[in-house]
Amino acid sequence: MSRSPAGAWRTWRATVVGVLIGILIAQVLAMKWLAESQVEAGRERQSREAAARAAQARCFESATHRTKDACRVGLASADAGR
C-alpha cells in the first residue's frame, strides 16, 4: 500500500498543524496559570503591606517619643528577619 505523494503531504501537514495547535493550547494554559499566580502574589503582598502600615500607625499612636522610636526599631528588625 503506497500513498500518493499528495496524500503523504496532507498527512504530514495535518500532523504539524495538530502539534502547533497543541502547543498553542499549552501556552494559553501556562499564561493563564502565570497570570493567576501573579494576581495571588499581588494580593498577598498588599495584605502584608496593609499589616505593616497598621503596625506603623500603632507606633505613631504611642504616647512618648521613646516608645515610638522603640516600636519603629522593632518593626524594622522584624521586617529584616523576613
Kindly report, residue by residue over 29-77, the tens digit of the pLDDT: 999 999 999 999 999 999 999 988 888 888 777 767 777 777 777 777 7
Domain ranges in the chain are 5-81
d(CA 63, CA 14): 76
Which DSSP string corresponds to 57-68?
A: HHHHTSSSHHHH
pTM of the full structure: 0.57
CB-based contact 35:15 (threshold 8 Å): no
